[in-house]
Structure 1
Amino acid sequence: MFVGFDYGTSNCAMSFIENGTAQLIPLYGGDAFVPSTLYALERSFIAELIAAQLTDESDKRSYAQKRAALLSQARAGKIEHDLDQVDEGIFFGSEAIAHYISAPGEGYFIKSPKSFLGASGLRQQSVDFFEDVVAAMMLNIKNRAEQHLQADITQVVIGRPVNFQGINALESNQQAQTILAAAGKRVGFTDIEFLFEPLAAGFDFETRLTENKTVLVVDVGGGTTDCSMVLMGPQHIQQLDRAQDFLGHTGERIGGNDFDIQLAQKILMPHFGMLSPLKTGLPMPLMPFVNAMAINDIGAQTEFYDAKTGFLLERLTRETNELELLERFIKMREGRHNFAVVREAELGKIALSSQARHRFPLDFIEPTLAPECSAGDYAEASAQLLQKIAALISEATLQAGIKPHVVYITGGSAKSPLIRNLIRELFGDEIAIVDGDHFGSVAAGLGVWAKRVFG
């Protein structure tokens, strides 16, 4: 059986074709979307989970040799945690978030691994690790989908952004796609195809068009923003090769996660001592605060938890004029609560899309700590990111050499009125703006394409 698989930065979803129409598959009860998170009591459990489901004896031996040290650690970990199977100690989606927030200093938590797949300079050990993490998440979704469909899934179209990273894009894209393909093969997908996510979102929209249109698809996802100018409609929809309909394309690693991080850095971190005056007259160093909130940057997280940062913060406690604020920051670092702070920023971002003000409940740091932010403050904090998205839209339009008839906006972050206002500023009121299923249109479009490729 074939499916479309949106392995997203923020959420994952899968679709299949029923009665000629793409349908999202319920994965957790009636919920078709799974947050892209994983929590394991031991990091080594992830490797054993993958090893346990391999059926080909040659693959099994090869994998066991490459992961021998991890598999040995996993056996010891099962004894320590009194588990019969490692899957009892691995959690996905909302369950992973809940386990992490309840005990951030224990276990291993990863959010949005897709953000890291194209990172420059990854050593083979890191590549192997991300293959395992991605495979474990894919396996969870594949098993749940097969249970719902009562069928084996062997063929898949997986969505991918135009560029996983802005730097060394060609190498980055090749590395990330290789990791996704290896993970997919490892969990039992025998035939794997890839499709740009904004095109997938557009294909879902195209099924509803009754006349030909030039459509600008603006897909603002969790980790990337992609813009595609595409010819769509009845004359184009049945073509398997759409290269000639593809007029312009841009993409960069700017997404919902970046809006969360900017909000956390600029609105929340001043309540933790960022920008506090020092007795020396020198400015408070910014990097510890920037690194703390940059949860999608491996290097930043490594530096934040490095001993050198601890020594720096200890010195700053003697130099700051606002000790109580810096002590909050140190408490957050010691408790590994930075992911939870960014999570509250994300929830606040969502709230500010429909309300004028929001308070961020940070009582896990301090009982009465609840900084407040207005929608205007959020817009100001997001201004630099919005300028980058505007540049992507303008470049895609310039490449196409033509203005769109319709702007189709999709992706979870595109729900923000800031994105709609930005498009209005660029094109005025004469061009229609159509909202897709902000979370499901990519998955649905991948299902449409899977039918054309495999059906």
Structure 2
Amino acid sequence: MIGFDYGTSNCAVGVMEQNSPELLSLGEHGRYISSTLYAPSRDVIVNWLYKNLDAAEQPAFQKQRTRQLQKGQGALRELVLDGYPTELSFGQQALNDYLQEPDEGYYIKSPKSFLGATGLLPQQVELFEDIVAAMMSNVKTLTEATLGRSVTQAVIGRPINFQGLRGEESNRQAINILTNAAKRVGFKEVEFQFEPVAAGFEYEASLTTETRVLVVDIGGGTTDCSMLLMGPQQAALTDRTADLLSHSGERVGGNDFDIAFALKGIMPSFGLDSMLKTGKPIPANSYAQAVSINNIHNQTEFYSAANVRFLEQLIRDAEQPELLTRLLTVQKRRLSYRVVNAAEQSKIALTDHTQLQIDLSDIDKGLTINLDRDGFAKACSRELSAITALMTDAIAQAGCQPDVVFVTGGTAKSPVLNQFLQQQFQHTPIVIGDHFGSVTAGLTRWANKIYGPLKTK
């Protein structure tokens, strides 16, 4: 059995060893594998998945995906004839493959962000199910190689609310995709646990008295807050319903911080906030579409042929056409992920530095941009306000103040966020957990509780 954090930014797996959760090393990726996938063609994902399924699962899958498998076979033949690789890559290697040829192949980051999206067609749901299954298959293979045994039971983390406008309908859609994918690749028993609750379970192991804990889990795709009654007596229970005093959650997370920083920190060098020859400002819509890597509609619009013509006209009308030309380069070479990744890496670097310079000379020769913490804070003011509202809502629902605030998630490493939280809770202790590992550890504890003690060979 495992605790499986299928995260928006990273995936991690834990097992219980001597009554403590231990995060596994997943081959060359280490304890965390980025939630990314690269395929030389989108059409071959289904074929890779079919090839890597257990033989007993293949007939049913072949029947369900006959047309897609046939289309993929055609794409595979073309790749072989053109001398291109046919395998999928995951994690950092997926990003490397994308950056090597961004206008070729199919790259997706954080597919979890899309699972609750409204208006998905059946074939889109199937594609996301296959993408998730391929990623889960890769993680499961790495896990079993590390453990030297098969794994068939998993507790998987989930946000309180997935991205989507239809509330529980969006949540059901996302959970169905995750469940189908997990069972397809060989997890025979699958349970889900709220990610902030799981993070709280890990913190609970350190408590000696009953404590009201506000867990703030700032994940890659969502921020979730839970007010939990925790302590040694509660930890012994298998039904924690009465201890979960409140929940709140929204699609605002690390990815949104990256996108906001890309828009307001990087895109001015691509013409955002510049002027037309008429004296009017350059329309901002294309810039927002360019960096909205978690929005299918926006990305489709940005990469449309109509938008090429629109950007070419803007260049002719702009006071600084050389800046707009950079945006057209992003469009033609499909560099949205490149720009947002630059913002993400800058966000991480600003944890230890107050300012830095990034190099985007691969987009335009000699292009460098100066970024700093103050700019990051200003760029993300709307996201910070959304997190404030979630914390306030969780406290109001619970009808009580927390004794302690426990914060986890990769974005929690940012000094900007730490300062922001200190301002919100000036008289309440704030505990910063393992930025990436708290959720995985809590999921592992819950897996051990509901599936029984782990039996090793």
TM-score scaled by structure 2? 0.96
Residue 88 of structure 1 and its aligned partner are, at CA, apart by 5.2
1:27 match: 26
From 409, 433, 438, the counterpart of 1:441:
438
The question of whether the paired residues in 2 share the 8 Å contact of 1:105 and 1:336 is answered with yes
Q: Does 1:201 align with 2:199?
A: yes
Deviation string for 1:111-143 (max 9, x for gaps)?
000000000111100000000000000000000
SS in 2 for 1:215: strand
1:334 aligns to what? 332
Are the equivalent residues in 1 in contact too, given 2:405–2:430 (CA < 8 A)? yes
Cα distance change on mapping 1:301 and 1:206 into 2, 3 Å: same
Q: How far apart are residue 238 of structure 1 and its match?
A: 0.8
Q: Are the structure 2 counterparts of residues 178 and 247 from structure 1 closer, same or farther at C-alpha, using a change threshold of 3 Å?
A: same
**Letter of the 1:450 counterpart:** A
Q: Distance in 1 between matches of 2:447 and 2:290?
A: 40
Unaligned runs of 5+ in 2: 453-457
**d(CA) in 2 for partners of 1:170 and 1:74?**
34
The equivalences for 1:215-254 within 5 A come to: 215-254=213-252
- Matched to 1:48, the amino acid is N
The corresponding residue for 2:46 is 47
Give how far 1:35 is off: 0.3
* Distance in structure 2 (CA, Å) of the matches to 1:107 and 1:385: 32
Q: Give the TM-score normalised by the residue count of structure 1.
A: 0.96
How many angstroms apart in 2 are the aligned matches of 1:384 and 1:166?
19
Q: Would you say the 8 A contact 2:137–2:185 is kept in 1?
A: yes
Match of 2:87 in 1: 89
- TM-superposed deviation, 1:431: 1.4
Secondary structure of the residue aligned to 2:141 is helix
Deviation at 1:375, TM superposition (A): 1.0
Counterpart position of 1:133: 131
Aligned partners of 1:199, 1:401: CA distance in 2, in Å? 18
Q: What's the % identity of the aligned pairs? A: 46
Query: Contact 1:390–1:422 (CA<8 Å) still a contact in 2?
Result: no
Provide the residue aligned with 1:16 in structure 2.
Answer: 15
CA distance in 1, matches of 2:247, 2:166: 17
Instruction: Report the Cα offset of residue 253 of structure 1.
Output: 0.3
2: distance between equivalents of 1:329 and 1:73? 33
- Structure 2 counterpart of 1:62: 60
Task: List per-residue Cα deviations over 1:315-353 (Å, max 9, x = no partner).
Answer: 112111101001111112111112111101001111122
| Aligned residue number for residue 119 of structure 1 | 117
After TM superposition, list the pairs within 5 Å mapping 1:55-454 onto structure 2.
55=54, 57=56, 59-82=57-80, 89-165=87-163, 167-428=165-426, 430-454=427-451
Aligned equivalents of 1:302, 1:42: Cα separation in 2: 17
Residues 14 and 24, structure 2, Cα contact 8 Å, conserved in 1: yes
Deviations 1:396-446 (A, max 9, x none): 111111111111110001111222222222221x31111111101111110
- 8 Å CA contact 2:373, 2:416 repeated in 1: no
Task: Tell me which amino acid in the other structure corresponds to 1:12.
Answer: C
Query: For each residue in 1:362-384, what CA deviation from the matched residue of structure 2 results, as whole angstroms up to 9, or x when unmatched?
Result: 11112321111221111111111
The answer as to whether partners of 2:117 and 2:163 remain within 8 angstroms in 1 is yes
Please list the CA deviations of residues 184-217 of structure 1 after superposition, one character each: whole Å capped at 9, or x if unmatched: 0100000000000000011111111122211111
Number of positions where the alignment pairs a residue of Structure 1 with one of Structure 2: 450
Question: Post-superposition shift, 1:56?
Answer: 6.1
- On the 8 A contact 1:277/1:320 being kept in 2, the answer is yes
**For the Cα contact (< 8 Å) 1:51–1:63, is it kept in 2?**
yes
Deviation of residue 166 (structure 1)?
Answer: 5.5
Q: 1:22 to 1:113 in 2, by over 3 A?
A: same
Amino acid at match of 1:163: N
Contact 2:79 2:86 (C-alpha < 8 Å) held by counterparts: no
What's the secondary structure of 1:47's corresponding residue?
Answer: helix
CA-based RMSD of the aligned residues comes to: 1.5
For residues 11 and 145 of structure 1, the distance between their equivalents in structure 2, rounded to whole angstroms, comes to 15
Q: Are the aligned partners of 2:218 and 2:411 in contact in 1 as well (CA < 8 Å)? A: yes
Conserved? CA contact 1:166–1:252, under 8 Å: no
CA-CA distance at 1:280 after TM superposition: 2.5
Q: In structure 1, what residue type is equivalent to 2:172?
A: Q
Distance 1:163 1:275 in 2: 34
AA in 2 matched with 1:453: I
Aligned to 2:455: none
| Contact 1:117 1:130 (8 Å CA) reproduced | yes
Q: Hey, what's the Cα distance between the residues in 1 that align with 2:111 and 2:424? A: 33
8 Å Cα contact 2:29/2:91 also seen in 1 = no
The residue type equivalent to 1:7 in the other structure is Y
Q: 1:63 to 1:336 in 2, by over 3 A?
A: same
Give the letter for the 1:444 counterpart. Answer: A
Q: Which segment drifts farther, 183-192 or 67-76?
A: 67-76
What secondary structure, in the 3-state scheme, does the structure 1 residue paired with 2:3 have? Answer: strand
Residues 80-108 of structure 1, C-alpha deviation per residue, up to 9 Å, x if partnerless?
Answer: 3339xx99520000000000000011111
Aligned residue identity for 2:374: G
1:7 maps to which residue?
Answer: 6
Report the Cα offset of residue 38 of structure 1: 0.2
- Distance of aligned partners of 1:166 and 1:401 in 2 relative to their CA distance in 1, 3 Å threshold: farther
Which segments of 5 or more consecutive residues in structure 1 lack a partner in the other structure? none
Q: Distance in 2 between matches of 1:377 and 1:317?
A: 27
